[in-house]
Homo-oligomer: A and B are copies of this chain.
Amino acid sequence: MSRRTSPPSAHDVARVAGVSQAAVSRAFTPGASIAKDTQDKVFRAAKSLGYRPNLLARSLIMGQSGIVGVVYGGNPRNPFFMSVLDALLKRLSRARKHILIFTVEGHATADVHVEDLLKYRVDALLLMATTLSPKLAEQCRDAGIPIIFFNRRPPKKDFASVIENNREGARQIAEHLLQQGYRRPAVVAGLAESSTGRDRESGFIAHLTSQGLPEPEREVGYFQREGALQAARKLLARKPRPDAIYCVNDHMALAAIEVARYEFGLEIGRQVGVAGFDDIEQASWPSFDLTTYSISVESIVDQAAMLLLGTPGHEIPRHSVVDGVFKPRRSTQRV
């Protein structure tokens, strides 16, 4: 009931319980050597005071905070991010880790935020669809902070990463388009800065040309809806018109479908095939029914969690390339 200025400390609890402050600490440390009796006294006193151990103080001593830093770049409108964030939140919460989250705008690196994160002595760092300057990355490693590049190739190979098998997915999509009889597929690219975008593009093109097709037409969509709308418009206005459009993510592919259907009056699949990448929730909606390469959010998050939670200070840099599953749908069904 009484309004205090500062929360009760272990000392306060100790007074009330009639024990030493150290005993209070032990009572709240699982596995510490303390008599059941003393612990009960402490707990009762703690409860009556509304005591909660100050994690800042504990972290100060232990040198680690129980906090994992997450920095994401790219387009926040992309539903894929929210799925990943949500899965990560649930996964790390099981490991009693908390997430300090940041976003970087545009093509900037995560550097500014990582500086802050280091000041909080975070236990690990996850960089999602964004990069870090090699210098800072090295400082993190020297400080013993595991850093995971998620959805982006790391600046140097000795940093851990979790990446989808972008080139393979792109290859499968290309192969499927060929088998469906499309002969003039075009590409909507992402961003030159993004390794993910580059891989999804080059894997696609490589397969097409290996099968004797010429370099496909290409426009840049910047991973954004706006960009994809314009890219699709330009591509579909060309003569001869591409008979298929592959976008390096679903988010852009949905835009392409709408341009083709509502602006050009084309029937998706029969008159123009559209394919994406990610298998976001909307891809399976009847309005789109988008052919795509499905990334299992659970499995990439699991991989990332393993790397993040690895023994602190002595992480083994690793790279996992997570395979997805090709999902043919109506958007590339010719008949």
Residues of chain A touching chain B, judged by Cβ–Cβ distance below 8 Å, are 2-7, 50, 52-57, 59-60, 63, 65, 67, 76-77, 79, 81-83, 85-86, 89-90, 93, 98-103, 105, 115-116, 118-121, 139, 142-144, 225, 254, 258, 261-262, 281-282, 285-288, 313
Contact = CB atoms under 8 A, between A and B. Distances in A.
A4 B138 CA distance: 12
B98 A99 contact: no
Given A55-B120, A313-B5, A139 B93 contact: no
Nearest to A7: B143
Contacts of A4: 142-143
Which of A67, A116, A286, A287 has the most chain B CB within a 10 Å cutoff? A287
B281 A258 contact: no
28 contacts: A2-B142, A3-B142, A4-B142, A5-B144, A5-B313, A6-B63, A50-B142, A52-B118, A52-B119, A54-B121, A55-B121, A56-B59, A60-B60, A76-B83, A77-B79, A77-B83, A77-B281, A79-B79, A85-B101, A89-B103, A93-B103, A98-B102, A258-B285, A258-B286, A261-B286, A261-B287, A262-B287, A282-B282
Given A98-B102, A286-B258, A50 B139 contact: yes
A86 to B, nearest CB: 4
A86 B82 CA distance: 10
A90 B103 contact: yes
Contacts of A282: 282
Contacts of A142: 2-4, 50
Nearest to A288: B287
Contact of A287 (B5, B55, B103, B258): B258
Nearest to A113: B93
Given A56-B121, A98-B100, 9 more contacts: A5-B144, A7-B143, A76-B83, A81-B82, A98-B116, A100-B100, A100-B101, A254-B285, A261-B286
A287 to B, nearest CB: 5
A182 to B, nearest CB: 23
Contact of A56 (B60, B82, B86): B60
Contacts of A6: 63
B60 A57 contact: yes
A288 B50 CA distance: 51
A76 B65 contact: no
A225 to B, nearest CB: 8
B99 A101 contact: yes
A101 B77 contact: no
A313 B4 CA distance: 10
Contacts of A99: 100-102
A52 B102 contact: no
Contacts of A101: 85, 89, 99-101
Given A86-B103, A100-B100, A102-B98, A56 B52 contact: no
A271 B77 CA distance: 32
Contacts of A54: 60, 119, 121
B119 A55 contact: yes
